[in-house]
Amino acid sequence: MSEDLSAGRAPIAYRTIRRDFQRARAVVAILVGFAAIAFIATGSGTFAVPYAIGGAVIAVDALYRRTHGTSATIPLLIDTTVVGAMFTVGGTSPASEVAAMAYAIVAVALLLPAREAWVLLGYAVAWAVVVVSMGGGGLLSGSNQGTFDVIVAGLL
């Protein structure tokens, strides 16, 4: 084990990539939000409302955190909570679930110390259990959700 990891440090120093990481979060969140708004505007996607709201929440947080914060813990906790809520309320596909879990695994493994990474990963798995137990159908699932899920999975 490297000396840095045994000292409770993350493999990648968050401060060195904060601006780029937060820019990427903002761009993806904005794109998900715009896709959701497009579905809402056409009248074919009330299920997309949580995605529009979630995209806005993550985008605002990411833009703020480009210049604030010294740890990736809170942004990753926000991402996990918002994405879990979006999937639970709006529904999702297995592809989107896998893409979100892959993001969570890679991000926590690289940006958090091991102990924090395991805790946040456990939290992400708890959300995943809820989503999977709903069979991909959220509280607001709709008929055009398949197309939207392809877009979201591609963006994640």
| Whole-number pLDDT of residue 83 | 93
Kindly report the pTM of this predicted structure: 0.83
Confidence at residue 18, expressed as pLDDT on a 0 to 100 scale: 95
Which residue, chain included where needed, has tokens 């055009």?
144
Give the whole-angstrom CA distance, residue 139 versus residue 128.
Answer: 15
Which among 62, 72, 67, 70 has a CA at the least distance from the CA of 30? Answer: 62
Q: In the prediction, which pLDDT does 5 show?
A: 46
User: Per-residue DSSP letters for 30-82?
Assistant: HHHHHHHHHHHHTTS-GGGHHHHHHHHHHHHHHHHHTSS-S-SHHHHHHHHHH
Residues 6+ apart with CB under 8 A from 11: 4, 5, 109, 110
d(CA 56, CA 52): 6
pLDDT along the chain (156 residues), means of 10: 57 94 96 90 82 95 95 95 90 85 94 94 92 77 57 62
Percentages (nearest 5) of helix, strand, coil residues in the chain: 75, 0, 25
pLDDT score recorded for residue 26? 97
In this prediction, residue 2 carries a pLDDT of 45
- Residue 149: per-residue pLDDT: 61
